[in-house]
Amino acid sequence: MLLASGRPHHRDRGHRTLRGALVNAGSVTRDVDAGYAALLDIIGSFKTASVDVYCWRVERLEEAGYDAPTSLSLARSYDVDLHRACDLLASGCPQDLALRILR
């Protein structure tokens, strides 16, 4: 619909602009989706590595003699020195005392 000035009515202009924006957004969305997928792959590899390290720490702590709940807790605390934790039990330190020393 044309106004008296000869310009299209604002709804017509907006409709064309919106259509153009949607077409342009489609190509941007594809680019963003591809980037997002790549980012998820990277994050997934970090999560896998973190899970692997956590499981390895749990196994080492259980092999050293810590019970399962304590091993799970200590493995999650990356500020706890794994070698020190294992050495404490290997030297005859009771688990309760080792926990107080480590924390």
In the predicted structure, residue 6 carries a pLDDT above the cut 70:
no
* Mean pLDDT of the chain, nearest integer: 76
> pLDDT of 55-82, one tens digit each?
899 999 999 999 999 998 999 888 999 9
Q: Which tokens in the block code for residue 53? A: 């390290």
Out of 38-42, 53-57, 95-99, pick the least confident: 38-42
Residue 98 in this model has a pLDDT that exceeds 90: yes
Tokens for 32, please give them. Answer: 């963003």
- Where along the chain do its domains lie? 10-102
Query: Which pair of structure tokens corresponds to residue 85?
Result: 């934790």
Q: What does the alpha-carbon distance between residue 64 and residue 28 come to, in Å, rounded to a whole number?
A: 54
pLDDT band at residue 5 under the 50/70/90 scheme = low
- Check: pTM over 0.75? Answer yes or no: no
Q: Are the CB atoms for 54 and 76 separated by under 8 Å?
A: yes
Helices (H) and strands (E) in the chain, counts: 4, 0
